[in-house]
Amino acid sequence: MNEVLEQIINRNDTWRGRQRRFHHYEPSANSDSHSAVGLTSGYATLDRQLEQGGWPLDSTIELLSDSNGLGAMGLFLPAMERLSEQKRWQAFIAPPYIPYAPLLAARGIDTQQVLLVHPKNRQDLLWSTEQALRSSTCSAVFSWLGSDNYSYGELRKLQLAAASGDSLAVLFRPNEAACNHAPASLRLQMREYRRVHILKQRGGNQHIDVDLPPAEDVPGQPQLWELPVWQGDNRRGAAMEACSPVA
């Protein structure tokens, strides 16, 4: 019964009461959110559309993509740079490719703080992600859940783990997962070059596209963006070169 209720509460068409007093955000009783201000994404155009003015640090973010989220990592590079100042781990769990260290270093991200976790099976993947989210030693947790189907209850455990900490929590899933309900407070899709689709956002704008202008890129720094899945697309090949295969 509780799982059914959670699905109803988190539907896009379910209204949640909330209050604003003296510009301080007070989450509704049925919300996992306890933070008034998010971590800036590094893109003012996107921050203006995000309810917390940036990435939530008390909830999971789902990034839906048909390219394993490889290029979509560019969306989080500015945040990773800021989080690197905390001197905590930035965990990559089940990444399909090893992060390209020179690119991270060029963006001011300390590669000594990058932790790679390669779970042996689905159960270990979920467990590793949950433990990393609950740990106070991780400033960011990026987890590639693959194309498996996950129950609402499994994803809810990750959501609760994220709510108990203060990490940037990003779950990469395929675009087909958009058809299923999920407890994440923010669900994004990258289906076009430099365009982010806000599929779901708790308390904020939904079903809108946000174009990321090149003017907001960090000048002189390497960028990595999600690219359409086109066979023989040279731009996609360039993005893939920014990662090296897992051994």
Instruction: Give the DSSP letter string of 160-222.
Output: HHHHTS--EEEEEE-GGGGGS----SEEEEEEETTEEEEEEETTS--SEEEE--GGGSPTTS-
**Three-state DSSP string of 132-153:** HHHCCCEEEEEEECCCCCCCHH
Residue 208 in any domain: the answer is yes
Does 40 reside within a domain?
no
> pTM of whole model > 0.75?
yes
| Confidence at residue 6, expressed as pLDDT on a 0 to 100 scale | 55
pLDDT of residue 73: 83
**Could you tell me the CATH number of the domain that includes residue 90?**
3.40.50.300
167 within some domain:
yes
In the chain, % helix, strand, coil (3-state, to 5) comes to 30, 25, 45
Judge whether 25 lies within some domain: no
Total structural domains within the chain: 1
> Which range of residues forms the domain containing residue 226?
2-10+53-245
Whether 41 maps to a domain, the answer reads no
In a domain, 77, yes or no: yes
Written as tens digits, the pLDDT of the chain (247 aa) is 555 545 555 555 444 443 333 233 334 334 444 445 799 999 999 999 999 999 999 999 999 988 766 668 889 999 999 999 999 999 999 998 888 888 889 889 999 999 999 999 999 999 999 999 999 999 999 999 998 999 999 999 999 999 998 999 999 999 999 999 999 999 999 888 889 999 999 988 899 999 999 899 888 777 766 544 443 343 333 333 333 333 3
Asked whether residue 57 is assigned to any structural domain, the reply reads yes
Sheet containing 114-117, strands listed edge to edge, beginning at the edge strand earlier in sequence: 114-117, 89-93, 138-144, 168-173, 60-64, 186-192, 195-201, 208-211
What per-residue confidence (pLDDT) applies to 11? 54
Nearest CA-CA partner of 64 in 154, 162, 179, 166: 179
Note whether residue 233 is domain-resident: yes
In this prediction, residue 70 carries a pLDDT of 66
